[in-house]
């Protein structure tokens, strides 16, 4: 039997989960993460390609549709310390060069500071932020205009072409979604202070707890298990209207699935966790 050279993990994230230090909520989702973390350890990736959506923290006044980070760190947030990511500069530069050559006018980032969208899956799936070399690949999921789902799928396929040529075991992560509507992202602005963000989140949190849309989440996960790209693109196109502004982050799942070779996913867990204001999903595929 051939050994898989690519493992794809798509997982929701939530600051509420980070603050839930007593693990009072989301037990089904946490159990799924523990299962997948073991799988990642057994897979022992040589490099991680991490598709994440910025929450208007790293990118405020200039917002690229697609970017590749050549160096990056993680900001301290929700009681978690910051740290530096171990970005393999040569491989990251090779990915950037390839994407430009095949027609994606990406941005190249250096020394950017990323938030929980990138930090949480790394902490959940490995021992530390620097357990593996990681290439952050930000996709704009927060500040309109957003890249179309079809273009995101094409972008992921272009990343797959590059990965096919590097002869390494690659863990591909897509992080964000499913249905949720964070109060700070409902505000149509490109910039706000951390203090204003905290005030808006606190004022709107109770209402956000009631904005999870399990029917939309289930439809998206069903399409993922058959890798029905037409249906996935259709659902992602209406994500904001039907599942909240945070559901736009499933673009990272589309990119990750395409980068993994476009294989059907196995659903590991789904749990609508009101206290985390998010429909928490977890799925994997492997090639």
Q: What confidence tens digit (pLDDT) does each residue in 217-234 have?
A: 999 999 999 999 999 999
| Burial (Cβ within 10 Å: 0-12, 13-18, ≥19) of residue 128 | exposed
Residue 1 lies in a domain: no
182 vs 50: which has the higher pLDDT: 50
Decide if 180 contacts 278 (C-beta within 8 A): yes
DSSP category for residue 262: S
List, in sequence order, the alpha helices (H) in 10-133: 15-19, 27-43, 89-101, 116-125
How far is 155 from 141, CA to CA, in rounded Å? 14
- Beta bridge partners, 9, equal 173, 284
Range of the domain at 227: 6-286
Tens digit of each residue's pLDDT (9 = 90 or more) over 91-101: 999 999 999 99
| Sign of the Cα pseudo-torsion (198, 203, 208, 209, in order) | positive
130 occurs within a structural domain: yes
In the annotation, is 55 catalytic? no
Q: Is residue 162 in a domain?
A: yes
- Alpha-carbon distances, residue 278 vs 137, 166, 173, 207, 216 (angstroms): 23, 36, 19, 12, 12
Average pLDDT score over residue span 35-56: 96
For residue 4, the model assigns a pLDDT of: 64
**CATH number, domain at 213?**
3.40.830.10
Whether 23 is catalytic is no
Question: To 10 degrees, what angle do helices 89-101 and 149-163 make?
Answer: 120
Residue 147 in domain: yes
Give the count of beta carbons closer than 10 Å to the beta carbon of residue 202. 10
Q: How many domains does the chain have?
A: 1
Query: Is the CB of residue 175 less than 8 Å from the CB of residue 117?
Result: yes
Structural domain includes residue 262:
yes
pTM higher than the cut 0.85: yes
What local confidence, expressed as pLDDT, does residue 223 receive?
Answer: 98
Catalytic entry in 23, 98, 180, 240: 180
Residue 236 has pLDDT above 60, yes or no: yes
Mean pLDDT for the stretch of residues 224-252? 97
Active-site residue, from 13, 55, 98, 116? 116
Whether 188 shows a pLDDT value over 80: the answer reads no
- What is d(CA 172, CA 10) in angstroms, rounded to the nearest whole number? 8
């Amino acid at each position: 039997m051939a050994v898989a050279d690519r493992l794809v993990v798509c997982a929701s994230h939530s600051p509420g989960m980070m603050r839930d230090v007593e693990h009072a909520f989301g037990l089904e989702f946490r159990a799924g993460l523990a299962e997948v973390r073991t799988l990642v350890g057994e897979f022992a990736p040589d490099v991680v390609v991490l598709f994440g959506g910025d929450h208007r923290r790293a990118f405020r006044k200039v917002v690229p549709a697609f970017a590749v980070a050549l160096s990056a760190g993680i900001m301290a947030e929700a009681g978690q310390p910051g740290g530096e990511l171990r970005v393999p500069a040569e491989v990251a530069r090779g990915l950037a060069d390839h994407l430009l050559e095949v027609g994606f006018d990406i941005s190249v980032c250096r020394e950017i500071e990323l938030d929980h969208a990138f930090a949480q899956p790394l902490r959940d799936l490995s021992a530390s932020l620097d357990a593996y070399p990681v290439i952050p690949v930000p996709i704009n999921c927060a500040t309109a205009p957003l890249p179309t789902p079809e273009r995101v799928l094409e972008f992921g396929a272009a990343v797959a072409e590059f990965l096919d040529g590097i002869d390494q075991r690659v863990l591909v992560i897509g992080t964000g979604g499913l249905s949720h509507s964070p109060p700070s992202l409902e505000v149509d602005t490109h910039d706000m202070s951390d203090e204003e963000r905290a005030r808006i989140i606190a004022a709107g949190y109770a209402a956000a707890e009631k904005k999870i849309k399990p029917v939309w989440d289930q439809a998206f996960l069903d399409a993922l298990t058959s890798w029905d790209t037409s249906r996935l693109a259709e659902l992602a196109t209406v994500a904001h209207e039907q599942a909240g502004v945070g559901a736009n982050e499933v673009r990272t799942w589309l990119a990750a699935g395409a980068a993994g070779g476009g294989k059907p996913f196995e659903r590991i867990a789904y749990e609508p966790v009101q206290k985390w204001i998010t429909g928490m999903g977890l799925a994997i595929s492997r090639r």
